[in-house]
């Protein structure tokens, strides 16, 4: 990798709603990707109407960050008819780039949004330099490589494309069983088209086997009593491989999760931000700080894996379809005076609990809840009501905008 020009990669964070974009930016995203109400691959997210999209662009730019809009569905003719107006509007409000999978959408974006860069989605399945160069010659400024790439593959592609063409790769989050392909399982089983943002995630379901001559009788295909989840992919986590990611010439480290919570956006963005900053500062002396890796265990996730980067198949978690979850968010700090904080409750906790705090600086610490009062100033023993406003006294000062967590028993 010694011939690769080493540059600080962009941290690209997801946002499914307004709270998510605020957290992604607050915790260090160089850029945020999101979708309008149409043409994005996550209809399960709230997404952004035109007014919200304009405010999101302004918010991102106020942080000195960029905002990318996903137009990566495979739209039908009736959808293409309304696309030009959306593209023109995005150009008008200052969107920095579109993420595109379809060639027709790519050409329309050139015509109706000439000031917006065009990035090629992982849905396009780019696995070689000839394809990357073809997109570059048509006007793409970035390619999001297929998720099946190894480090050696990426280095080889980087060496054979123009230095101006950026490479973006997923480094964290959920992985589809079809990875970079066009999956039809959801359409076949439910009528919900995964290629138009409406995946029902049937790959996460439990399956049984039937024998054709024994109608109504099923034979469990199982590794445990709970049944078998044949297609349930692990989650990706590349936090332990920052040096390889940077030295491969990847321009942007992308975090999956537009359907995930604002808390997820904060934790993942913060972890990769600190890890990259540390590596760029320390280089040969770099070691991953233990707290950074621990942070990624404080969000809900499936079993972690390194995808295809190391030349191995990530595989599936066949024994269960659920998440690993060690921590709960119990409150958010709205404001404070010394060790007294005004908080909004999210999950139940008690006076005397040890709480884990993620402040805007991104360096977590623990503190003890010494006292709780409701908004009328009456002392209470616990915080049982979601979104209740409370006054909390702790043994350490909690900065405003901090996320407050509690480890599960």
Lowest mean pLDDT among 49-58, 70-79, 156-165, 227-236: 227-236
Q: CA–CA separation, 116 vs 118, rounded Å?
A: 7
Other residues' Cβ atoms within 10 Å of the Cβ of residue 252: 22
Average pLDDT over residues 138-158: 96
Average pLDDT over residues 116-135: 96
Tokens 């590794």 identify what position?
223
Tokens 């000195």 identify what position?
64
Instruction: Tell me the pLDDT band of 1, cut-offs 50, 70 and 90.
Output: very low
pLDDT at 384: 94
Q: Please report, for residues 9, 124, 148, 168, the alpha-carbon distance to residue 180 in angstroms, rounded to integers and kept in the order given.
A: 22, 7, 7, 13
Q: Roughly how many angstroms between the first and final C-alpha of the chain, as a whole number?
A: 45
- In DSSP notation, 92-146 reads HHT--EEEE--HHHHHHHHHH-TTSEEEE-GGG---SHHHHHHHHHHT-SEEE--
- Higher-confidence residue: 229 or 96? 96
Q: CA–CA separation, 253 vs 200, rounded Å?
A: 27
Average pLDDT over residues 348-357: 98
In sequence order, the 6+-apart residues with CB closer than 8 A to the CB of 313 are none
Lowest mean pLDDT among 73-82, 284-293, 297-306: 73-82
Q: What percent of the chain has a predicted confidence (pLDDT) above 70?
A: 86
- Find the radius of gyration of the CA atoms of the chain: 23
Q: CB–CB of 408/328 below 8 Å?
A: yes
Reported as a single tens digit per residue, the pLDDT across 363-377 is 999 999 999 999 999
Other residues' Cβ atoms within 10 Å of the Cβ of residue 343: 24
Q: What percent of the chain has a predicted confidence (pLDDT) above 90?
A: 71
Reported as a single tens digit per residue, the pLDDT across 233-272 is 789 999 999 999 999 999 999 999 998 999 999 999 999 9
Query: What sign for the dihedral angle of Cα 368, 394, 25, 69?
Result: positive
pLDDT at 312: 84
Average pLDDT over residues 139-147: 96
pLDDT at 181: 58
Instruction: Tell me the pLDDT band of 3, cut-offs 50, 70 and 90.
Output: low
Average pLDDT over residues 302-323: 81
DSSP secondary structure letter of residue 368: E
Other residues' Cβ atoms within 10 Å of the Cβ of residue 153: 19
Pick from 384, 363, 388: nearest CA to 374: 388
Q: CA–CA separation, 108 vs 96, rounded Å?
A: 16
Q: CA–CA separation, 69 vs 119, rounded Å?
A: 10
pLDDT at 75: 85
Helix H, strand E, coil C: the string for 50-92 is: HHHHHHHHHHHHHCCCEEEEEECCCCCHHHHCCHHHHHHHHHH
Q: Can you give the pTM of this predicted structure?
A: 0.88
pLDDT at 226: 56
pLDDT at 190: 80
Query: What sign for the dihedral angle of Cα 142, 253, 96, 78?
Result: positive
Evaluate if residue 296 carries a pLDDT over 60. yes
Q: CB–CB of 14/255 below 8 Å?
A: yes
Pick from 331, 363, 341: nearest CA to 267: 363
Q: What is the mean pLDDT of the chain?
A: 89
pLDDT at 240: 98
pLDDT at 276: 98
Reported as a single tens digit per residue, the pLDDT across 160-204 is 999 999 999 999 998 876 666 566 676 767 877 766 567 777 766
Q: Copy the structure tokens of residue 292.
A: 């950074």
Tokens 């069983």 identify what position?
177
Pick from 67, 56, 69, 57: nearest CA to 29: 67
Angle 38-39-43 from CA coordinates, rounded to 5°: 65
Average pLDDT over residues 334-345: 97
Domains and CATH numbers, the chain: 10-178+233-305 (3.20.20.70), 327-407 (2.40.30.10)
Query: What sign for the dihedral angle of Cα 234, 238, 244, 247?
Result: positive
Average pLDDT over residues 205-222: 64
């Amino acid at each position: 990798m010694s011939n690769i020009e080493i540059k600080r990669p962009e941290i690209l964070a997801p946002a499914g709603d307004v709270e998510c974009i605020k957290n992604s930016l607050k915790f260090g995203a160089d850029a945020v990707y999101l979708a309008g109400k149409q043409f994005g691959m996550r209809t399960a997210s709230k997404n952004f109407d035109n007014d919200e999209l304009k405010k999101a662009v302004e918010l991102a730019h106020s942080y000195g960050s960029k905002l990318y809009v996903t137009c990566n569905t495979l739209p039908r003719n009736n959808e293409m008819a309304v696309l030009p107006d959306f593209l023109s509007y995005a150009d008008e409000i200052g969107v920095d780039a579109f993420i595109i999978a379809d060639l027709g959408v790519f050409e329309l974006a050139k015509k109706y949004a000439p000031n917006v860069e065009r990035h090629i989605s992982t849905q396009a399945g780019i696995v070689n330099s000839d394809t990357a160069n073809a997109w570059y010659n048509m006007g793409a400024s970035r390619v999001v490589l297929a998720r099946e790439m190894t480090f050696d593959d990426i280095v080889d592609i980087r060496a054979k494309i123009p230095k101006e063409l950026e490479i973006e790769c997923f480094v964290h989050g959920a992985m589809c069983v079809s990875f970079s392909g066009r999956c039809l399982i959801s359409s076949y089983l439910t009528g919900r088209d995964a290629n138009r943002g409406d995946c029902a995630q049937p790959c996460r379901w439990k399956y049984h086997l039937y024998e054709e001559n024994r109608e109504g009788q099923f034979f469990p295909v199982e590794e445990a009593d709970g049944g078998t989840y044949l297609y349930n992919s692990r989650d990706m986590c590349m936090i332990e491989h920052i040096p390889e990611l940077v030295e491969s010439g990847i321009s942007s480290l992308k975090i999956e999760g537009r359907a995930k919570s604002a808390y997820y956006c904060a934790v993942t963005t913060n972890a990769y931000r600190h890890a990259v900053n540390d590596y760029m500062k320390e280089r040969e002396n770099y070691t991953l700080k233990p707290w950074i890796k621990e942070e990624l265990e404080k969000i809900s996730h499936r079993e972690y894996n390194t995808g295809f980067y190391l030349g191995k198949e990530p595989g599936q978690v066949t024994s269960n379809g659920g998440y690993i979850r060690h921590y709960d968010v119990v409150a958010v700090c709205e404001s404070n005076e010394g060790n007294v904080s005004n908080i909004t409750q999210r999950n139940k906790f008690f006076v005397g609990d040890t709480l884990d705090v993620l402040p805007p600086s991104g360096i977590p610490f623990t503190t003890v809840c010494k006292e709780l009062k409701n908004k009328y100033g009456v002392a209470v023993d616990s915080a049982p009501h979601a979104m209740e406003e409370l006054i909390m006294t702790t043994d350490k000062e909690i900065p405003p905008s901090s996320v407050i967590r509690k480890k599960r028993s």
